[in-house]
Chain A
Amino acid sequence: MAGKSIFVDTTRCTACRGCQIACKNWNRNAASATKNLGNHQNPPDLDGNTFKLVRFSEVENEGKVGWYFFPDQCRHCLEPPCKDTAEGYVNESVIQDDATGAIVYTDKVKEAPFDEIKSSCPYDIPRRNARGLAVKCTMCIDRISNGKKPACVSTCPTEAMSFGERDEILKLANERLAALKAKFPKAQLLDADQVRVIYLVVDDPKKYHKNAVASLERGNRRFAAKRVIDSILRV
């Protein structure tokens, strides 16, 4: 599969949140008023102005404390269920960019029901912005179409994120996985065959974030399929 991919090596992430803010900066997304809820993750979740969020999880393994960081964002699925859901309602509401594979919502997405789009996402990514529009990471389609890296990747101090041709990124991800396997037997790439944003974790993915891997509880295939079939019948 050609196109681009992003590799997120969580073992290199220092949670400096440069990516979280670089994303807002490029996308001109505002901040919301937050409170400290007893941890450092803020805003508490992805929202209409937050396409990338560093999630913080404290863990304890055999009496040793650990702190996992997970810069969460749209995975840009190779075969994106959100697209199928939305396109079941209206064409051109979700674009899968030919050159890069980036999944991008257009303004037409407002004509598709947000709840269905959201619940069809195996990673619980889409959110609604102030205009009521479904929004999420665009892989910085405007930057990557002009030879630049996504803003989050460019700003990462520790090269926890890499961007490039999918085959090269997969190679890099697998090399890194192999290097970490000896020290971390649970090291794994998350859903690498299905998505363009590939995470490397060294422990149970659920310890990083409940939706780190595609979840059986999520995704709405029947609903999506029904909508598609209904729309076909309407044609």
Chain B
Amino acid sequence: MTNHGIDLANSDCILIMGRNAAENHPISFRWVMKAKDAGATVIHVDPRYTRTSTKADIYAPLRSGTDIAFLGGMIKYILDNSKYFKDYVLNYTNASYIVGEKYGFKDGLFSGFNTEKKAYDSSTWAYELDDKGIPKKDPTLENPRCVLQLLKNHYARYTPDAVSSITGTSQDDLLKVYEAYSATGVPDKAGTVMYAMGWCQHSVGVQNIRAMSIIQLLLGNMGIAGGGVNALRGESNVQGSTDAGLLYHILPGYNPTPTAAVATLADYRKKYTPGTKDPFSANWWQNRPKYMVSFLKSMYGDAAKPENEFGYAWLPKGEEGKPYSWLDLFDAMYAKKLKGFFAWGMNPACSGANSNKTREALANLEWMVNVNVFDNETASFWKGPGMKPKQIKTEVFFLPCAAFLEKEGSISNSGRWVQWRYKAQEPPGMAKPDGDIIYELFLEIRALYQKDKKAKFSVPILNLKWDYATKHQFDPHLVAKAINGYWTADKKIGDKTYKKGEQVAAFALLQDDGSTACGNWIYCQSYNQDGNNMARREKSDPSGIGLYPKWSWAWPVNRRIIYNRASVDPTGKPWNPKRVVVEYVGEVKDGKYASGSWKGDVPDGPWPPLKNPDGSAREDGKLAFIMKPDGYASIFGPGLKDGPFPEHYEPLECPIDKNPFSPQLNNPVAATFKSVKDVIKKCDPKFPFVGTTYRVTEHWQTGVLTRWLPWLTEAEPQLFVEMSEELGKLRGIKNGERVVVESPRGTLDAVAIVTKRFKPFVIQGAEIHEVGLPWHFGWVYPPQGGDSANLLTPSVGDPNTRIPESKAFMVNVRKKGA
């Protein structure tokens, strides 16, 4: 989230789309209701009428996989009706940039498409630069090649009629939503969006979110209280585990993992440190080398030295352009390219798309380690449905771990609050905290490498800093301090000397010469000389907008609303004086700031605003979007794999064969796989219904932590499939009957919930039915609970994130025995 949960209460209009907030993040709804109490409009756009819809002022159904059409129509509405916030758009976004002549869009494809490689050459999407190397701008926004005009042109096709015919949303509902939401495009109104996997799990997942980001920028909703783009995340620490770089493409703190061509630290600095020619751009990532060197120091300690590039060579390098993502990982495992596997605190046999492929892949391993709180379908895959244990060689080690209330440490919520929690009891039996297991396992591994002088490349193993125990037990405080960072040498900066061994106060002090070690630069300040800031529990709110700056700690540098320099006008005064996030306050002489400082939230950097109160430009001001190299937020986004503007493409499995917006039916660069398990069927009469997956309040993810809890399984005991009364009638299915749901990849038994809350969609004049299933169940437990909905989902995905398209695929539903 750019903002945080409590901040939802500051909103005037809350669009919940790609998400079922009341059911999946029930406490976020506490703040939605507070906004509603204060007069906010709540909108829910979803294929199915849910518990969230019951609290919405406007509910608009749409067919799964058509969000870009829906949002593209809103972009058109905003532009056609001049609902955008012009001052914001001009000052803080790239709307005025002139795009180069090589850019184009024709027949559903952007310029630079290589048919053979199925990839774009994004260099054709570059801006025109002036002689200083700064993008050319047209402040009148009238140049036909300026971003705003290109945007207008791109979405001219997204008429209410065309959008309605593809989404199945009535034009009346579309206009209601467009009108209500675009009313926030004024200085004193805030609109926010709450989304989740309903947007991510599509072959156009990133572009779904891009479309909404464009809307938020047009309406001036980024950086302000009650605004932002807010992903509510599904796992208690999925934010923290992402921050910690437990993904193939990033190291801790969002530094990219190096690839083979980036052989040296010098190469790395060159490739990943962005430059800017614009003196007003803070270009924060210019500091990347400091963060990278400090990370290497935290990994390898004293062994990381300037002469060995701080051990950069010891980091593994990926192959150029080869993804190692979830889908790729299981594809490799299915193809027998992997031998060993850790499924740590996860249940991939149920959680990833195309679970039959995953489950078979597990049988191709030599060994697997599963660490969990309860038995699950991954640990026990070898005795699952259709498996023949005697033919499965995979050795399985199951390690029991402590639950959250049996250990101490921090987790990071969706709003980036890093909160410390404590141990309330001992874990049962032999169970241990994950930290102890990891700590002890690595000691065993290292001991083997210490003994074997001929072992393969043992340097990083022998040099990994691993002193995180107190009395031989894993000590989270020691790691938390290392993540924050500390001085590894005495260092004088200005007139202050920092002593070796002291904690680093905040990331502005991190160095690229090896004098600081820092495990994750964005967490620098979390555990500094003031102590463990994550454990703070002072409940004061001087802001009056719910920032609670002394409750726990938020990354970065305790900033509660990021991009907050955009919450003020160029002179530093809040767009909305009633909801002040930050404000530049100082002594004014002759219309100029003679001195001053920011009040309120921790600002996005200390520099003064761009202009003086009299409107004159300041030389020391900085542009609002400090993480963007050019300082402006991207309405035109040339950095993605599938185009600078979002475009509607059908899901790879779709019920129609014509895209009304272009001849290009599907995302031309979507991630696809070729194994025999990767079957995709478009417009196949055997699979006539759109299928989607979701969650319910009473369970969580694959159900590993909820199916075993009697109170929850009492409330939601079994796999169900929800369908409309019309579909029930069509298939002769009565409410509560057992049915079979089948996709090209798998089959499931489920209980039918025939409900008024699902209605058939009229798509291009034809009636299209959609059904939905939760993915919480699995064959291990409870006995009559059913299996995972991911047996049905396809292993195809978004080209940027490679997140699977679990939210829109094709199925058949029939009465059991029919």
Contact = CB atoms under 8 A, between A and B. Distances in A.
Contact of B33 (A12, A30, A36, A69): A12
A69 B752 contact: no
Interface string A2-43: 000000000010111110110011000011111111111011
Contacts of A158: 29-30, 33
B51 A15 contact: yes
Contacts of B800: none
B712 interface: yes
Interface in A78-126: none
Contacts of B698: 17
Contacts of B737: 38
Interface in B629-663: none
A39 B23 CA distance: 15
A31 B713 contact: yes
A14 to B, nearest CB: 4
A14 B29 contact: yes
B241 interface: no
Contact of A32 (B26, B27, B55, B714): B714
B30 A159 contact: yes
Contact of A31 (B27, B49, B711, B784): B711
Given A21-B711, A31-B713, A34-B717, A16 B736 contact: no
A65 B49 contact: yes
Contacts of A159: 30, 33
A36 B22 contact: no
B54 interface: yes
B728 to A, nearest CB: 10
A194 B288 CA distance: 68
Nearest to B710: A31
Among B715, B718, B751, the most chain A Cβ lie within 10 Å of the Cβ of B715
Contact of B711 (A24, A40, A59): A24
A185 interface: no
A80 to B, nearest CB: 28
Contacts of B752: 38
Contacts of B710: 30-31
A38 B49 contact: no
Given A14-B29, A17-B698, A69-B54, A31 B714 contact: yes
Interface size class on chain B is 35 or more
A60 interface: yes
A30 B709 CA distance: 11
Given A31-B710, A31-B711, A67-B54, A18 B756 contact: no
Contacts of A14: 22-23, 26, 29, 51-52, 54-55
A157 interface: yes
Contact of B51 (A16, A36, A37, A59): A16
Contacts of B711: 21, 24-25, 31
A193 interface: no
B753 A42 contact: no
B26 A38 contact: no
Given A16-B22, A20-B715, A158-B30, A38 B754 contact: yes
Interface string B672-711: 0000000000000000000000001110000000000011
Given A35-B784, A157-B27, A58 B716 contact: no
B757 interface: yes
Interface string A155-169: 001110000000000
A36 B717 CA distance: 6
Contacts of A147: none
B735 interface: yes
Contacts of A25: 711
Contacts of B759: 65
A40 B54 contact: no
A16 to B, nearest CB: 4
A167 B495 CA distance: 65
A76 to B, nearest CB: 24
A33 B711 CA distance: 10
B33 A67 contact: no
A66 B54 CA distance: 7
Contact of B757 (A18, A24, A35, A65): A65
A32 B754 CA distance: 24
B576 interface: no
A37 B29 CA distance: 28
A136 B6 CA distance: 36
Nearest to A58: B756
Interface string A31-57: 111111111101100000000000000
B687 to A, nearest CB: 24
Given A58-B755, A67-B51, A34 B26 contact: no
B756 A65 contact: yes
B756 A37 contact: no
A138 to B, nearest CB: 19
B721 to A, nearest CB: 10
A43 B716 CA distance: 9
B195 interface: no
B710 to A, nearest CB: 4
A116 to B, nearest CB: 29
A122 B683 CA distance: 56
B756 A38 contact: no
A191 B120 CA distance: 67
A169 to B, nearest CB: 18
A38 B735 contact: yes
Contacts of B784: 35
Interface string A139-154: 0000000000000000
Nearest to B737: A38
B300 interface: no
B720 interface: yes
A42 B757 contact: no
Nearest to B28: A157
B26 A42 contact: no
A14 B753 CA distance: 19
Given A157-B27, A157-B29, A158-B30, A34 B51 contact: no
Among B27, B51, B751, B753, the most chain A Cβ lie within 10 Å of the Cβ of B51
A29 to B, nearest CB: 9
A18 B53 CA distance: 19
Contacts of A21: 711-712, 715
A16 B697 contact: yes
Among B710, B711, B756, the most chain A Cβ lie within 10 Å of the Cβ of B711
Contacts of A32: 714
A158 B33 CA distance: 6
Nearest to A18: B26
Contact of B717 (A12, A35, A60): A35
Contact of B715 (A38, A42, A58, A60): A42
Interface in B582-622: none
B714 A43 contact: yes
Given A36-B736, A40-B753, 13 more contacts: A14-B55, A16-B26, A18-B26, A20-B715, A35-B751, A38-B751, A38-B752, A39-B735, A39-B753, A39-B755, A43-B714, A58-B755, A157-B30
22 contacts: A12-B33, A14-B52, A15-B54, A16-B29, A17-B697, A21-B712, A21-B715, A24-B711, A34-B717, A35-B717, A35-B751, A35-B784, A36-B751, A37-B736, A38-B752, A38-B753, A42-B717, A58-B757, A66-B54, A67-B51, A157-B29, A158-B29
Query: Which 5 A/B pairs are nearest by Cβ-Cβ distance?
Result: A38-B736, A31-B714, A31-B710, A38-B735, A16-B26
Interface of A: 12, 14-18, 20-21, 24-25, 30-40, 42-43, 58-60, 65-67, 69, 157-159
Interface of B: 22-23, 26-27, 29-30, 33, 49, 51-55, 696-698, 710-720, 734-737, 751-757, 759, 784
